[in-house]
Chains A and B, each alone.
Chain A
Amino acid sequence: MTAETILFYLFGGLAVISALGMVLNTRNTVASVLSLVVTMVSLGAVYLLLEAYLVAAFQIMVYGGAIVVLFLFVVMLLNLSTDEFPPSKQRLIKSAFVIAGVAILAQILIALGHDPLFATPPEAVPEGYGGYRQVGILLYTDYVLLVEMASLLLLAAIVGALILAKRKID
């Protein structure tokens, strides 16, 4: 077991635990948000181990830095730091959900176990893989359409958020 593998299990485990912490924590919303940050950062570390450097940077900056902070901001704005909704009495329905979720997981894992894709370890990555230069060049050549469309998407999101959230009505 190499150091990389150990780190992967470490961060992977951390991601799972903090994700569970986010979902299962029914007392404190702020703690949930902070658990999400931990998950995101751990995943960023896993991306580094997978040699996707630029994505790892974005993961930390955009997810950890922007999105989660936005959540935290809304939680604070609405003063929702304590969760007012104690566990539902519909435990049965929840258990049904759990069963369904586990069934999905089982299906995916069964599917994975059979896959020839994982029979051999992946080959070494080519020079410059996952770096800003390669990603940047491709984004502005092969994938330039996506960049443009993503800009429209963000425009739509800005307009939409403004419409929905602005305080003044009419």
Chain B
Amino acid sequence: MVDVGTESDLLRWIPLLPLLVAAYHGISIGVLRRPTVPRVAAIFSCAAVLLSFVLACIALRDLLALPPDSRMLVDDIYTWIGAGIGSRALSAEVSFQLDPLSAVMTLVVTFVGSMIHIYSIGYMEDDHRDDKGTQRFFCYLNLFTFSMLVLVLGDNLVLMFLGWEGVGLCSYLLIGFWYSDSWNAYCGSKAFIVNRIGDFGFLIGLFLLFNALSEIGHPAVSFAGIQAHFDGIVEMTIAVPAWMPFAPEWQLVNVIGLCFFLGACGKSAQIPLYVWLPDAMAGPTPVSALIHAATMVTAGVYMVCRLSFLYAAAPEASAVIAWTGAITALVAATIAITQNDIKKVLAYSTVSQLGYMFLAAGCGGYTAAIFHLGTHAFFKGLLFLAAGAVILAMHHEQDMRKMGGLWRRLRMTRWVFFAGVYAIAGFPPFSGFFSKDEILVAAWASHVPGHTWLYGIGMLTAGLTAFYMFRLWYLTFCGESRVPSDVLSHVKDPNGFVVNPLWVLAFFSVTAGLVGLPQIWGDLIGIEESNSLANFLKPVFAAGEPHHIAHSTEYWMAFWAVAIALSGTALAWLLYIKKPGVPDRIAATLSGLYRTLLNKYYIDELYDAVIVRPLVVFSDRVLYRIVDAGVIDGIGANGTAYGIRAVAANGLKYAQSGLAQNYIFFMIVGAVAIVGYLLR
């Protein structure tokens, strides 16, 4: 079993603990109908996730004890889909694997997850909307943690899909948690449906990949199995009709790669499927932090990195990923500039940062993508939670125009918030600086067509990021207070459950960059192999051959990155502190553009007009009125004038009439068609 990995029965408990607690909650609500005391229920949940984190640390220790090239722990539990039949038997195990990539993900999920669980205790106690809801909330939260851990630990695509759907479902339940607003419920459905479009891509990709592997006699769905036989399918092509682009044939791995990327787009909110994420902010703030910033939305990035061997062999698909990521990063950053809801700014910022990660992954910088994923989890989790603290302090006010000057009031929150803002804006030596720098280097060095443009977009986005984050900072914490005086007197730091996790996250937001310190900085301060994250992850990823970049260039790139972040900050200072009237004047001058941005490029409206409404109209009008009414009467009419009048007069009368004889008529038509086809 050496080539597969080292057995470890520990792994199964990492996801299982949260599941068990979720089951406990479910039984106590649904079956016993006797909810546990909220505080106790919450502590159970936190304990489960913390324990998972401890187990993950132990597993990491075991993993590090192994030689670098065979770092893989497996825990094979049972055969899930077995006993395949026919020549292409499929077998899928319920089996967990911990390699460096999933180890990083597991640690991030369990650690940030436990912080957010603890935070939720304090946050939900403040929520008086639904006093029975706390246990339900923690039930969903634990279920989510379970699904996410299955997603990252699963050793095959089918198990990954189980986690994939599970996190989507829990996200949906949690967004709609405060269901007294029907708007929230609507947002939940939207998230789920957009995610399902992505799942369509995932499933098709899975089936195509499996089919290709069976063609060469190695049906497999486990990552190890796929990777082992992957070389055999790289050259495969599929023929397409001449009218399709790039006819007559497509390289199969590109098609598969794009299918999976469609799945990633849905889950990780990339263009064109990003519409759901900003709306998902309707859920409670800890949910936004956990699911819609730190963990679930990064699942797409994780998947692309997990399938790095596939994307390394599919340059066109990789280029699509890189460009989609870059464009998403830019578009979302521009939208973030105009938003006034504090959580919406952070939401668009998340979309934008996810775009960065895909930019890196598409450029072959898988390590950079995972690095940024990790640092982003810390600082974006922190920012959301801190924003949640602000919102709590402000009595559920989220509009930044009604904040300002909170610096003096929130004496602890301000420091952690500041750490988060510095980290995301990319100032050294905060974590965001290193990970963003890695991404920009990867973009510059890649072979993707137009890679210098990608670099440029990345730089521009970095400037925009600094601008909108400091805009948020200045509007919220600095300047004159615009808070109504009756509220202002009550504004104070929230309780310890809320604040303490923030300090922990802030600490890591500041320092997490050091685990992936790029070699150029390591050289400066004299550390060999300073980029320990990259070395740790190296065996997992397919090695590309990027352009060589001189060290001096890298220093210049770092310099320019800081410079553009500084200029963004300066601009924000200028506009929102020095001359507060300017933004409105700009908005007035550029009203068309501003309104476009404010309305998020009218994307929602476009979707409504192009997809949702036509579907409703189609099923309502076409199926009912045209097919039923039209076909019945249309055939009867037979082109005579009388018939046309009859259609008009009796048109709707016979639509899905409920008349048995009309059904019989359709059966006759069907029978004639079938027999006619057979006799052709």
Contacts and interface: CB of A to CB of B under 8 A. Distances in A.
In-complex A–B contact (CB below 8 Å):
yes
Interface of A: 90, 92-93, 95-97, 100-101, 103-104, 107, 110-111
A24 to B, nearest CB: 16
Contacts of B675: 104, 107
Contact of A111 (B650, B669, B671, B679): B679
B658 interface: no
3 tightest A-B contacts by CB? A92-B636, A100-B668, A93-B636
B646 interface: yes
Contacts of A111: 679
Interface residues of B, number: 18
A66 B386 CA distance: 87
Nearest to A102: B672
A96 B679 contact: no
B652 interface: no
Given A107-B679, A110-B679, A111-B679, A96 B672 contact: no
Given A100-B672, A103-B672, 20 more contacts: A90-B636, A92-B633, A92-B636, A92-B642, A92-B643, A93-B633, A93-B636, A95-B636, A95-B638, A96-B635, A96-B665, A100-B668, A100-B669, A101-B668, A104-B668, A104-B671, A104-B672, A107-B675, A107-B676, A111-B679
Contacts of A96: 635-636, 638, 665
14 contacts: A90-B636, A90-B650, A92-B633, A92-B636, A92-B637, A93-B632, A93-B633, A93-B665, A100-B672, A104-B672, A104-B675, A107-B675, A110-B679, A111-B679
Contacts of A104: 668, 671-672, 675
A93 B635 CA distance: 8
B665 A97 contact: yes
Nearest to B668: A100
A45 B574 CA distance: 107
Interface in B642-680: 642-643, 646, 650, 665, 668-669, 671-672, 675-676, 679
Nearest to B673: A103
Nearest to B635: A96
Interface string B624-640: 00000000110111100
Interface SS of chain B: helix, strand, loop or mixed? helix
B672 A92 contact: no
Contacts of A101: 668
Nearest to B637: A92
A96 B671 CA distance: 14
Contacts of B643: 92
Contacts, number: 38
A90 B638 CA distance: 13
Interface string B485-528: 00000000000000000000000000000000000000000000
A50 B365 CA distance: 85
Contacts of B669: 100
A111 B638 CA distance: 27
Interface of B: 632-633, 635-638, 642-643, 646, 650, 665, 668-669, 671-672, 675-676, 679
A109 to B, nearest CB: 11
A55 B540 CA distance: 79
A32 B121 CA distance: 81
Nearest to A100: B668
A134 to B, nearest CB: 35
B646 A92 contact: yes
B672 A107 contact: yes
A2 B636 CA distance: 45
B653 to A, nearest CB: 10
A97 B668 contact: yes
A108 to B, nearest CB: 8
Contacts of A100: 665, 668-669, 672
A101 B672 CA distance: 9
Contacts of A97: 665, 668
A97 B676 CA distance: 17
B112 to A, nearest CB: 65
A69 B595 CA distance: 81
A107 B668 CA distance: 13
Nearest to A111: B679
A101 B664 CA distance: 12
Contacts of A95: 636, 638
A93 B659 CA distance: 13
Contacts of B637: 92
A10 B47 CA distance: 93
B667 to A, nearest CB: 10
Contacts of B676: 103, 107
Nearest to A107: B675
A129 B507 CA distance: 99
Contacts of A103: 672, 676
B638 A92 contact: yes
A16 B647 CA distance: 34
B629 to A, nearest CB: 12
A107 to B, nearest CB: 5
Nearest to A103: B672
Contacts of A92: 633, 636-638, 642-643, 646
Contacts of B638: 92, 95-96
Contacts of B633: 92-93
A104 B633 CA distance: 20
Nearest to B669: A100
B672 to A, nearest CB: 5
A100 B633 CA distance: 14
Nearest to B665: A97
A23 to B, nearest CB: 14
A119 B676 CA distance: 24
A111 B632 CA distance: 28
Contacts of B671: 104
Contacts of B672: 100, 103-104, 107
Contacts of B636: 90, 92-93, 95-96
B647 to A, nearest CB: 9
A52 to B, nearest CB: 28
